Amino acid sequence: MEWWVSMPKIELHAHLNGSIRDFTLLELAKALGDKGVIDFSQVEHVILKNDRSLSEVFKLFDLIHIVTTDHPSITRITKEVVEDFASENVVYLELRTTPKKNDSLGMSKRSYIEAVLEGLRAVSSVDVAFIPCNEEPRNLSSSLLADANDKCNGSMRKKIFVRLLLSIDRRETTEAAMETVILALEMRHFGVVGIDLSGNPAVGEWITYLPALKFAREQGLYITLHCGEVSNSKEIHDMLDFLPHRIGHACFFEEEHWRRLKSSNIPVEICLTSNIKTLSVPTIDVHHFVDLYNVKHPLVLCTDDSGVFSTTLSNEYKIAASSFGLGQKEMFELSKNAIEFIFADNVVKEDLRNFFNSAAKNLE
Ligand code: 5GP
């Protein structure tokens, strides 16, 4: 197995519906086509198209949501996405998704998230740890390190930690955003740890989501923002002023934004393939990864939408290594460093540190 696949990895920026398997998306679309809900012949080529601009990506998401937004589909997609990440040795996954309401299907934002939780419980190929340990008596034998030791004895199943972030879509109102935050607070016992702001960056105003984001932070939820996906100097400035716990992308930053980002040390979720495919960054050699890595700014490699952009986290590590001349040890350190800015508690962090330290011995 290639080292970028076998190496333990941490995924902090993965949208549930964007991570759907091609096969599943086509199968669900075909089933809706057979029922006459959509015209499959009109959507097949949209699904199969490989390179899309950012605005085309959001058109595809509208289609994906028509096809996927019912309870059984959400449960299935969640199960498959977790299995896919675990199969490439992701040991900690923060999965984000926008809770959706669809009265005609009897779906509320809460029942949508319950369907996601059902998907986590349905995973059978690995053990999924998603209930925070302060909710469940800590079972030492289920720690990753114990798992690693047992695996050496050939007796253990793989394990993945999963935590959930609820996304606010930029099309939503202040009230709808607040509803999502309240749901996140109610769902903390089930591993919901934070709030993400995402959706088409050409839509909506920062001021609309600010009250909900402030409230979320006051209540102890973690916040990550899609920031600088398009050129919008004022919004980037306001977002950095808010001091989120992490940001994603940072493609259209100006000098002053970089200064603020670096002085505040906000970790950046870097999505190389997504940035290149959506033309947010012209070529990989001018990607801001290089500058941030060189100044030791906290950053983490992520997939964004592994289904939509036909990538995997292993592939993102491989691309970074080959494009920026980094070796296996450096990539291992990069992966391990991400432990420090995950949104889970210290018990999980300690477990991951022990696991990576143990895995590091195999590098020498
Ligand atoms: P979901 O929240 O339905 O599970 O995942 C898909 C949604 O995530 C999209 O409809 C969009 O709101 C958000 N999303 C996925 N990829 C991106 C991205 O690259 N940029 C932004 N701003 N939002 C995204």
Start-to-end CA distance of the chain, whole Å, equals 17
Give domain limits for the chain: 3-360
In this predicted structure, what is the pLDDT of residue 58? 87
Residue 13 host element (H or E): strand 9-15
| Secondary-structure class of domain 3-360 per CATH | alpha beta
Which of 61, 224, 230 has the most ligand 1 atoms within 8 A of CB, as the residue to mutate?
A: 61
- Rounded-to-integer distance, Cα 116 and Cα 99, Å: 10
Closest C-alpha to 59, from 45, 73, 71: 45
Closest C-alpha to 79, from 162, 183, 187: 162
The minimum-distance atom of ligand 1 relative to the CA of 100 is: 3
Which residue ranges have their beta carbon within 6 Å of ligand 1?
15-18, 61, 97-98, 167, 169, 198-199, 201, 226, 229, 274, 304-305
The minimum-distance atom of ligand 1 relative to the CA of 61 is: 10
- Rounded-to-integer distance, Cα 308 and Cα 190, Å: 27
In this predicted structure, what is the pLDDT of residue 136? 56
Contact, 199 vs 169, CB < 8 A? yes
Q: How far is the CA of 24 from the centre of ligand 1 (A)?
A: 18
Q: How far is the CA of 15 from the centre of ligand 1 (A)?
A: 6
Structure-token pair, residue 74? 């959400």
Q: How far is the CA of 256 from the centre of ligand 1 (A)?
A: 27
In this predicted structure, what is the pLDDT of residue 152? 44
Which of 68, 93, 167, 206 has the most ligand 1 atoms within 8 A of CB, as the residue to mutate?
A: 167
Check 88, 172, 179, 229 and give the catalytic one. Answer: 229
Q: How far is the CA of 319 from the centre of ligand 1 (A)?
A: 23
3-state secondary structure of 291: helix
Which of 305, 309, 310 has the most ligand 1 atoms within 8 A of CB, as the residue to mutate?
A: 305
In this predicted structure, what is the pLDDT of residue 56? 82
126 HSE (CA, 13 A, CB side)? 27
Which residue puts its alpha carbon closest to atom 19 of ligand 1? 304
Q: How far is the CA of 14 from the centre of ligand 1 (A)?
A: 9
CA distances from 144 to 80, 91, 158, 162, 292 (A): 21, 8, 9, 13, 30
3-state secondary structure of 100: coil
Which residue puts its alpha carbon closest to atom 24 of ligand 1? 199
In this predicted structure, what is the pLDDT of residue 363? 77
In this predicted structure, what is the pLDDT of residue 140? 42
Which residue puts its alpha carbon closest to atom 3 of ligand 1? 17
3-state secondary structure of 158: coil
Output the pTM of the full model.
0.95
229 flagged as catalytic: yes
The minimum-distance atom of ligand 1 relative to the CA of 308 is: 16
In this predicted structure, what is the pLDDT of residue 44? 85
Which of 198, 273, 278, 316 has the most ligand 1 atoms within 8 A of CB, as the residue to mutate?
A: 198
Which residues of the chain are modeled with pLDDT < 70?
A: 135-143, 145-156, 364
Q: How far is the CA of 163 from the centre of ligand 1 (A)?
A: 17
